[in-house]
Amino acid sequence: DAEEPILWWSPDPRFVLFPNKLKVSKSMKQVLRSNRFKVTTNTAFKQVVQECSKIKRIGQQGTWITNSMID
């Protein structure tokens, strides 16, 4: 609604990842060592949000991620 502020939804409790406390399984270590994926943090935030806004959701039209949220 144009009259309402931008809303960000966050579940309670939130999922928070603490890298120094992360326990990685043996199978996941193998996957990470294979270099099939690149793990990054705090890069291309705006582009990630823009791409997330394009994901089609079954039974729903559009997205809740608006241009003003992206900006």
User: pLDDT tens digits, residue range 21-48?
Assistant: 989 999 999 998 998 988 788 888 889 8
Mean pLDDT confidence for 42-59? 88
* Domain ranges across the chain: 19-69
Longest CA–CA separation in the chain, Å: 51
pTM for this prediction: 0.47
Identify whether the C-beta of residue 24 lies closer than 8 Å to the C-beta of residue 32.
Answer: yes
Whether pLDDT at 52 is above 80: yes
The Cα–Cα gap between 17 and 14 comes to 10
Residues in the chain: 71
The Cα–Cα gap between 42 and 38 comes to 13
